[in-house]
Amino acid sequence: MRRALELAARGLGTTSPNPVVGCVVLDAHGEQAGEGWHRRAGGPHAEIHALREAGDRARGGTALVTLEPCNHTGRTGPCAQALLDAGISRVVYAVADPDPQAEGGAATLRGAGVETVQGLLAAEAEQVNAAWLTSVRRGRPHVTWKYAATLDGRTAAADGTSRWITSAESRADVHRLRAEADAVLVGAGTARADDPHLAARLPAPAPDAPAPVQPLRIVLDSDATAVRPGARVLDEAAPTLVAVAEDADAGHLEGHPRAELLRLPRTDGGLDLTALLAALHARSVRSVLLEGGARLAGAFVAAGAVDRVVGYLAPALLGAGPQVLSGGGISTIADALRLDITDARRIGPDLRITAAPATPLTKEH
């Protein structure tokens, strides 16, 4: 199953709006006969790749899959039936499929006499497939807030300079995060101050791997004053969405050949983030990488819409300057957003900490 999880992770950035899935097939003697992963939306599922590699050795064997085999016909056929046709006698899967359109694969397999086991390395499988699972369970994209700061929590110096707080290795790792996300989002302040490009820069993929899909670039620009002609997000490197208030004067963006306009209701703090996430989910955005400043991060925290935090901490001190988070609706220590650290590692000279809320911020449907 650990090998299946490794395989599943290879699909990050290329399978959305589908889940990432890995599969390993063992023959009747317990020897590995085939493996595969879901490589791109609309393409064969992980089980199909693994069964093709296993061939006749799959008969009487075991399939280990990170997600319950699907039970419906979409752009591809049901994997549960493919496993039956191949003569698999036992299926072990990590996480049950919560999608009502695809669930029921395990029941189909059991009904045909196949032994099924659920839950092996379930926590790890939930983590690798967090974006898709969040989208199905909560009806909104999974949001990762990424930031870079000094050890004393400063994102820039007192004079506003911020390039570069973290190392080249950390910045390269951020491009990996971008490539794995469906969308990268910043606010008007970041757009004005940095004129960010927001596209992912990555080395060429391996010959047998699909090229990553560039994420949708999103700028929250309430008054339509931050994204002006010539902005770097208006080039042809990736699609761009500019979210503005319903009453904003955005004539300079209407009909722009390289930017789509999204009008949203205003709230006291800016744009309605619930409406934003609903609109993104409706267009099949399953994961968002939040790269905005302290105020925007605080707004997402206050809205209960941060599912993961990735912080890059540089071994440096500034003593003054902007802090990582502003607001968030937290006024007392009892209301602190407590996180569980899921990973901590060195990236060049920096420390990258990955954490998730100890309790979900929003209720599931």
Does 55 show up as a binding residue in the annotation? Answer: no
Confidence (pLDDT) at 257 = 87
Sheet holding 240-245, edge to edge: 260-264, 240-245, 216-220, 183-187, 287-290, 142-150, 308-314, 350-357, 339-347
Q: Are 307 and 134 in contact (CB under 8 A)?
A: yes
**Range list for CATH 3.40.140.10 in the chain:** 2-128
Mean pLDDT across the stretch 82-94?
97
Confidence (pLDDT) at 219 = 97
Does 190 show up as a binding residue in the annotation? Answer: yes
pTM of the shown model = 0.91
Q: Counting beta carbons within 10 angstroms of the beta carbon of residue 319, is it exposed (0 to 12), middle (13 to 18) or buried (19 or more)?
A: exposed
Mean pLDDT across the stretch 143-164?
93
Q: What are phi and psi of 123, to 5 degrees?
A: -65, -45
Does 120 show up as a binding residue in the annotation? Answer: no
Distance between CA atoms of 149 and 165, rounded to whole angstroms?
Answer: 7
**Range list for CATH 3.40.430.10 in the chain:** 130-357
- Point out the catalytic residue in the list 6, 31, 35, 47: 47
Distance between CA atoms of 143 and 131, rounded to whole angstroms?
Answer: 8
Provide the mean pLDDT of the chain: 92
Does 38 show up as a binding residue in the annotation? Answer: no
Clarify whether 47 is annotated catalytic.
Answer: yes
CATH of 2-128, one of 3.30.420.10, 3.40.140.10, 3.10.580.10, 3.30.590.10: 3.40.140.10
Structure tokens given for 259: 């930017």
Distance between CA atoms of 178 and 164, rounded to whole angstroms?
Answer: 18
Confidence (pLDDT) at 329 = 85
Does 297 show up as a binding residue in the annotation? Answer: yes
pLDDT per residue as tens digits for the range 96-143 = 999 877 668 999 999 999 999 999 999 999 999 999 999 999 999 999
Structure tokens given for 269: 């703090």
* Kind of pairing between the strands at 287-290 and 142-150: parallel
pLDDT at 363 over 80: no
Distance between CA atoms of 335 and 323, rounded to whole angstroms?
Answer: 19
Confidence (pLDDT) at 361 = 53
Mean pLDDT across the stretch 259-287?
94
pLDDT category, 210, cuts 50, 70, 90?
confident
Q: Superfamily for 130-357?
A: Dihydrofolate Reductase, subunit A (3.40.430.10)
Does 23 show up as a binding residue in the annotation? Answer: no
Structure tokens given for 83: 């496993």
Confidence (pLDDT) at 102 = 66
